[in-house]
Amino acid sequence: MTNILAIESSCDETSAAIIKDGHEMRSNVVASQIKSHMRFGGVVPEIASRHHVEQITQVIAAAFKEAGCDWDVIDAVAVTQGPGLVGALLIGITAAKSLAFAHNKPLIAVNHMAGHIYASQLVERLNFPLLSLVVSGGHTELVYMPSHGHFQTIGDTRDDAVGEAYDKIGRVLGLAYPGGKKIDELAQEGQDIYDYPRAMINEDNFDFSFSGLKSAVINHLHNADQRGETLKQADIAASFQAAAVDVLVAKTLRALDHYPVKDLVVAGGVAANSSLRQKLKIAVAKAYPDVKLHFPPLALCGDNAAMIGAAAQYHYDKGEFADLSLDAKPGLAL
């Protein structure tokens, strides 16, 4: 039996969790800073760091309280090393290093994107080989995993991440940051009546491009505005979402065609998207009925320390520990 204290502070959530054996969530405490960044329309790195400093000790104490345990049961301290904002990452890393040193526990460095993939393991066992569609504010990747802890990025975005396109369009529509969830909600009241581009959908690769779609939507809004026309926001949202989700589903199916896998794991903030969940479920059940599809529960789609604790288990099992020279890696790849 292994209990790992995990810490996550890569962006705008300060989080600590205690995870047993890589899958049992004894606690998961998340302090969100979204309200502080909202008025700026995006995450302000300096504000994020300050909030992490204020929150980190309390969040860790709350994780112990929620789990009802003490340091004597903790086997290791895991922390997000990257990718993320350097100042934000450093707060979690400094806390993890200090605690590991003070309590004489091994330290584990975890990749944030690996964490997103392993979030599904907090609910169901993962079977390998697997394919993961990783969709967040900073990433849009297709990742092939032959076994635990091995990542092969087979497709990536050539420009914007899908979450970034959601948030930028949300901003132009005047929605509060982050716009992804709001666009998803608006889309459910609208109709897919505008034919926005589905870049690279027929290209024989696993890459994505969302900047053309983003520009097409923004130009459409500006042109209508100049003509004094008012477009229905819900229809814009529904049409944009249909284009974005069509590409995500098509590329994932293409990847499943080339990489026979047991499981398909959708990971990252955009995994919360209702249309992606619905359309991917239908498409996979039809074309690959033997592939098991995992979506993390909504509460575990966004950034949280529980997923870091789940991913850390495989480093622990292999004896892969970091030392106190551990540094933040803002551009860390899988």
Number of residues located near ligand KG4, criterion CB under 6 A: 19
Sign of dihedral through CA atoms 60, 61, 63, 69?
Answer: positive
Binding to Zn ion by CB under 5 A, coded x per residue (else -) over 106-145, reads ------------------------------x---------
Toward ligand KG4, which CB reaches closer, 11 or 60?
11
Task: Tell me which of ligand KG4, Zn ion, none is bound by residue 309, counting a contact when its beta carbon lies within the kind-specific cut-off of 5 to 8 angstroms.
Answer: none
Q: How many beta carbons lie within 10 A of that of residue 207, not counting itself?
A: 16
Residues in 172-191 at the binding interface with ligand KG4, rule: CB under 6 A: 178-181, 184
Decide: helix, strand or coil at residue 238.
helix
Sign of dihedral through CA atoms 227, 229, 230, 233?
Answer: negative
Residues in 122-151 at the binding interface with ligand KG4, rule: CB under 6 A: 136-138
CA–centroid distance for 178 within its chain:
13
Backbone φ, ψ for residue 160 (5° rounding): -85, 150
Binding to Zn ion by CB under 5 A, coded x per residue (else -) over 291-330, reads ------------x---------------------------
Residues in 259-278 at the binding interface with ligand KG4, rule: CB under 6 A: 268-270, 272-273
CA-based angle 177:181:182, to the nearest 5?
A: 70
Task: Tell me which of ligand KG4, Zn ion, none is bound by residue 181, counting a contact when its beta carbon lies within the kind-specific cut-off of 5 to 8 angstroms.
Answer: ligand KG4
Is 263 annotated in a binding site? The answer is no
Q: What is the CA radius of gyration of the chain?
A: 20
Angle between helices 211-226 and 233-258 in degrees, nearest 10: 160
How far is residue 315's CA from residue 78's CA, in Å, rounded to a whole number?
10
Q: Does 167 engage in binding with Zn ion (CB under 5 A)?
A: no
End-to-end CA distance of the chain: 27
Q: Which residues bind ligand KG4 (CB under 6 A)?
A: 11, 136-138, 163, 166-167, 178-181, 184, 268-270, 272-273, 302-303
